[in-house]
Structure 1
Amino acid sequence: MSTTDRWPSRVYAEGEEPDYRFSLANERTFLAWLRTTLALIAAGVAVDVLDLGVSEAFTRGLSATLLGLGAVCPVLAFWRWAASERAMRRNEPLPPLGAAAVLITGVVLLAVAVLAVVAVT
C-alpha cells in the first residue's frame, strides 16, 4: 500500500515516513482526546439527568456547555493529530497547542463556575 492510498491522503502524501513509535504516540494522544470527548458527553448527560439542587437554568446551561465541548473535542483531536503527523513527516517542529487551549480554558472555567455555585448553595 502506497502512502497516497492511506487516508487522509493530505497527511500521508507529504514528506517521509517517521519512526513508527512517534506515529503511535501521536495516535495514543488522539485516543486520549477521544476519551476526553466521552467524559465530557457523559458529564453533560449526567448533569442534565441528576438533581444537583441548583436552578434548572444553571443545570441546562452547564449540560449544554459540556455537550458542546464534547462535540468540539473530536474535531480538535483530529486536527491536532493531522497537524502533528504532517509535521513529523516533514521533519518540522510539532505545532503549538492552539485551539486545544480553548477547550482546556472552557473546562477550567466550567469547573470554577460549578465550584462557585456549589459554594453559594
Structure 2
Amino acid sequence: MSDERRFPRWVYGTGSEPDARFSLANERTFLAWIRTSLALLAGGVALEALELPVQPDLRFAAALVLVSVGLLAPVLAWVGWARAERAVRLRSSLPAPSAFGLLVLGVCLAGGLVLVGLVVG
C-alpha cells in the first residue's frame, strides 16, 4: 500500500518504511494501552454497579475517575503510537512516554477514594 493511502499521513508520509518488527512492536504497545483502557472502564462501571461497602459519594467519585482515565487512555495511546511510529520512520530517538503520569495518578486517586470510602463507609 502506498504511503499516500495510509492514515495518518503526517505519520506515514514521513521518512522511510522501517523494519516491520519495530512497527509491530509499536502496535503491540498501542494495543496494550487499549486493553488497559478497557480494564479501567470495566473497573469504573463495576465499582458503581456492584453493591460494595464503600461510602456512595466516594465510590461514585472513584468510578468517575476510572471511567475518565479509561476514556482518555486510548487517545493518549494513539498519540503515543503516532509519535513513536514517526520517530522510527525518521530513524530518530523515540519520544519519552507521555501518558504514564496520567495512568498512575488516576489509578492512585481512584484507589485512595475507595480506601477512604471503605474506612468511612
Moved over 6 A (4+): none
Give a deviation string over 1:30-69, Cα, whole Å, max 9, x none. 0000000100010011001111112111111111111101
Query: TM-score when scaled to structure 1?
Result: 0.91
Residue segments in structure 2 that go unaligned for 5+ positions in a row: none
- Root-mean-square deviation over aligned CA pairs: 1.5
Residues 87 and 93 of structure 2 are in contact (CA less than 8 Å); yes or no, is this contact kept in structure 1? yes
Residue segments in structure 1 that go unaligned for 5+ positions in a row: none
Which amino acid letter does the alignment assign opposite residue 48 of structure 1?
E
Which amino acid letter does the alignment assign opposite residue 20 of structure 1?
A
Count residues with an aligned counterpart.
121
Tell me which residue corresponds to 2:35. 35
Looking at structure 2, the residues matched to 80 and 33 of structure 1 have their Cα atoms a distance apart, in angstroms, of 10
Q: More deviation in 110-119 or 5-14?
A: 110-119
Query: TM-score when scaled to structure 2?
Result: 0.91
Residues 61 and 110 of structure 2 are in contact (CA less than 8 Å); yes or no, is this contact kept in structure 1? no
Greater relative contact order (CA < 8 Å, ≥ 6 in sequence) = 2
Tell me which residue corresponds to 1:23. 23
The answer to whether the aligner puts 1:76 opposite 2:82 as a matched pair is no
Tell me which residue corresponds to 1:97. 97
Which amino acid letter does the alignment assign opposite residue 72 of structure 1?
L
Residues 23 and 85 of structure 1 are in contact (CA less than 8 Å); yes or no, is this contact kept in structure 2? yes
Residues 76 and 100 of structure 1 are in contact (CA less than 8 Å); yes or no, is this contact kept in structure 2? no
Tell me which residue corresponds to 2:87. 87
Residues 12 and 86 of structure 1 are in contact (CA less than 8 Å); yes or no, is this contact kept in structure 2? yes
Looking at structure 2, the residues matched to 87 and 71 of structure 1 have their Cα atoms a distance apart, in angstroms, of 26
Which amino acid letter does the alignment assign opposite residue 68 of structure 1?
S
